């Protein structure tokens, strides 16, 4: 049986998606417009390298080029709204 420490991603667990992850996903979709479960499904489908590239493109400010925090509605460096 796999131990939690042996899992690389939640989707490797027999309880995926668990109650805790579903709750977190629901909150992040409502508050920040992103899905934890969606991210995990993307990693499972395309691999971590492709996911990171997509996320870097998605979360890079188109105005100043800095990384935008998921918890903020706009770039903390220049004030531009998130895409």
Verify that 81 and 53 share a domain, yes or no.
yes
- 4-36 residue pLDDT tens: 667 899 999 999 999 999 999 999 999 999 999
Measured CA to CA, the distance from residue 5 to residue 58 in angstroms comes to 30
- Cβ count within 10 A of residue 75: 21
pTM value is 0.83
Where in the sequence is the domain holding 19, given as residue range(s)? 9-46
Verify that 58 and 75 share a domain, yes or no.
yes
Verify that 54 and 82 share a domain, yes or no.
yes
- 33-68 residue pLDDT tens: 999 999 999 999 999 999 999 999 999 999 999 999
Verify that 40 and 56 share a domain, yes or no.
no
Question: E-assigned strands of the chain?
Answer: none
Verify that 40 and 60 share a domain, yes or no.
no
Measured CA to CA, the distance from residue 54 to residue 50 in angstroms comes to 6
């Amino acid at each position: 049986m796999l131990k939690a420490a042996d899992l690389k991603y939640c989707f490797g667990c027999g309880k995926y998606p668990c109650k805790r992850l579903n709750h977190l996903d629901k909150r992040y979709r409502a508050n920040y417009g992103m899905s934890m479960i969606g991210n995990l499904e993307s990693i499972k489908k395309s691999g971590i390298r492709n996911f990171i590239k997509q996320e870097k493109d998605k979360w890079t400010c188109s105005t100043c080029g800095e990384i935008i925090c998921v918890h903020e509605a706009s770039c903390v460096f220049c004030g531009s709204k998130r895409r």
